[in-house]
Amino acid sequence: MPATPLNSTTRPAPSQDFTIRPLEAALGAEVLGLDLNQPLNPEDFARIHGAWLEHGLLVLRDQRIAAEQHIDFSRRFGPLQVHVLKQFLLANHPEVFIISNIVENGQPIGLGDAGKFWHSDLSYVELPSKGAMLLAQQLPEEGGDTLFASQQQAYETLPDELRQRIEGKRAVHSYTARYADEVFKGVRRPTLTPTQLAEVKPVVHPIVRTHPETGRKGLFVNENFTTHILGLPEDESKALLAELYAHSIKPQFIYRHQWQANDLLFWDNRALIHLATGCPSHLRRRMHRTTIEGDVPV
């Protein structure tokens, strides 16, 4: 019997020639020379995965990819989440959430103020996002930077007294924590339907979480979605959260990303929080984000 010829489905993809270079910053590494239009073999995938866990954020340069490749690469890390604001999902690709200040025909094409407060993506659900991948589509000539802060470095440098006060404590997270405030201030945000509200019921997570893959501990509260600490009077809870927030964004824990065309950023939401600094309103910014489901924080 003739031998079965090897075809492209049985042959592993060749290794790609790419470099991972740590950023000169508190966190993050740059990935140069990788092409996500090409298949990624298990060894290359393992290099990327390992670097992501080590640095918390990867800046994958020059990714001229379509939504399909963005989704496929994201899926290699786990199931994808679909954002509650269905009106801002990319047509035919509900895994892609549009973040944009662009208004077309009187309608915003994406969430305009996403990331205006420090947060970890989807900390308001039972299974918060493990990681997110944000792909630059249209960048403003100025502004639009994104800041990242290591919550593991923040935890490790907490004063002992503060660390003891949060030991074993849990906090409530809610998608709508700041929603009404923002609408009240004139920020354009869609009203949530009863179905959407039911999708984002408040949840409780530990204030300190242990990273399920690295074992490192990090702070897990954020000014965007955390409403209060369980078991404390309101004023004490507010004061303690304020102390934690002030510590969690000390300059030494922060990396500021200035976007370049075709950047794909991939961050670990279990280790970092992030903030979008915004851009002048007359300039246009459009980004596509996928989020990967994580574990119950412990």
Taking CA 284 as the corner, what is the angle to CA 283 and CA 287, rounded to the nearest 5 degrees? 145
CB 267, min distance to ligand SIN, A = 9
Catalytic residue among 83, 211, 216, 274: 274
How many amino acids of this chain bind ligand SIN (CB under 6 A)? 11
- The DSSP string of 200-241 is T--EEEESEEE-TTT--EEE---TTTEEEETTS-HHHHHHHH
211 is catalytic: no
15 forms beta bridges with: none
Q: How far is the CB of 147 from ligand SIN (least distance, A)?
A: 9
Look up residue 251 and give its DSSP letter.
G
Stretch that binds ligand SIN, among 57-65, 113-121, 164-172, 233-241 (CB under 6 A): 113-121
Q: Which residue is nearest to ligand SIN (CB)?
A: 115
* CB 26 to ligand SIN: min, Å: 18
Note whether 297 binds ligand SIN by CB under 6 A: no
Shortest distance (Å) from residue 130 CB to ligand SIN:
14
- As a whole number of angstroms, the distance between CA 298 and CA 288 comes to 29
Instruction: Clarify whether 289 is annotated catalytic.
Output: yes
- Asked about 205 being catalytic, the answer comes back as no
Strands 57-60 and 29-32: parallel
Q: Which of 121, 178, 257, 285 does the annotation list as catalytic?
A: 121
Query: How far is residue 248's CA from residue 157's CA, in Å, rounded to a whole number?
Result: 10
- Residues in the site for ligand SIN, rule: CB under 6 A? 99, 114-115, 121, 132, 134, 146, 274, 276, 287, 289
